Amino acid sequence: MIVAAIDQGTNTTRLVVGDVHDGLLDELHRESRITRLGEGVDSRGKLLPVPIARVRNALSDYRRTAESLGAERTLLVATSAVRDAENGEAFLGEIEWSYGFVTRLLSGDEEAELTRRGVGELGSATLLVDIGGGSTELVLGDFHTSLSLGSVRFTERHGDDPAACIDAARGLLPHLEPEDAVGVAATITSLAALDLGLEEYDRERVHGHLLTRDGAYAQLERLAALPLEERRRVPALEPERAPVIVAGGAILVAILDTYGLGAIRVSERDILDGAALAAAELPEPEEGATPPGAYTCC
């Protein structure tokens, strides 16, 4: 079955279209756009009109792409920014009405579990780390949690001050005793690309890279020392990720230090892959169930 999945995060809106067969995803198309839906949510408690417009522009294109590739189901999962916003559920209702997507507002625990599903089998002593824009998910064996620390949230609170971000993150991390770690999402994959010295981002080279604690800290120091406009020009770093990468890198360093981890294995499979598998389990759409106008909105 060909499905589409959309991860509506705090900083990015991501799409994957693929064929799901026997619980495996054969990817046909993947793309990501930085839409910064969570801009201002930490301080104002609601989704703002300009970020919503950026998301809607991306979703309009994603819908056309999914339809052109023959997707039979489309599932959009929403995470931290939508959870924290007083108008988050209304936003998702508007998305369902406008685009005909099935939407799910994930709790922190559900987000962690769907990430684990996307990554695949992990050892019982392997810590799964997902640093997002508004929250960070940690999974270890039967334990999973979602913490209110993320690259966008910490940038708005602490700016480009690595020490402040590291101290704040350490204060929120629970007591855990992992033996090793796997990391997902754009903060970690971006730092891996920089650690590899890539001139252009390469998913195949990033996937499976062992990012050491020293390597992560070196990239954090390098990025924090650069003015924002220079940071935007760093090879293999998406320019629109430059404003929040210092805070995200500081969170990663805090996690590695707190748990005594010398390195983290990087994975390109994450919650988006888990959402695609979940999309294949959706019931067949009922004829006439989509509200009028769902496919005519901007």
**CA 278 to chain CA mean position, Å:** 17
Domain-located, residue 115? no
pLDDT digit string, tens, across residues 5-32:
999 999 999 999 999 999 899 999 999 9
Short-list 172, 185, 179, CA closest to 249: 185
Short-list 7, 29, 35, CA closest to 16: 29
Structure-token pair, residue 162: 């690595």
pLDDT digit string, tens, across residues 138-190:
999 999 999 999 999 999 999 999 999 999 999 999 999 999 999 999 999 99
The answer to whether 36 and 152 have CB atoms below 8 angstroms apart is yes
pLDDT, the chain, mean:
94
Verify that 181 and 90 share a domain, yes or no. no
pLDDT digit string, tens, across residues 138-150:
999 999 999 999 9
Domain-located, residue 44? yes
Verify that 135 and 263 share a domain, yes or no. yes
Verify that 133 and 52 share a domain, yes or no. no
Verify that 175 and 223 share a domain, yes or no. yes
pLDDT digit string, tens, across residues 197-206:
999 999 999 9
Residue type, 145: T
Verify that 188 and 96 share a domain, yes or no. no
Domain-located, residue 77? yes
Verify that 147 and 252 share a domain, yes or no. yes
Looking at the 3D structure of the chain, how many domains does it have? Answer: 2
Domain-located, residue 253? yes
Helix then strand then coil, in percent of the chain rounded to 5, is 45, 20, 35
Degrees, nearest 5: CA angle 12-15-18:
155
CATH code of the domain in which 46 resides: 3.30.420.40
pTM for the model:
0.89
The span from the first CA to the last CA of the chain, in angstroms, equals 28
Strand order in the sheet with 210-212: 143-147, 136-140, 126-131, 180-184, 263-266, 210-212
Which domain does 126 fall in, by range? Answer: 121-268
Q: Which of 71-75, 112-116, 244-248, 259-263 has the lowest mean pLDDT?
A: 112-116
Number of helices (H), then strands (E), belonging to the chain: the values are 13, 11
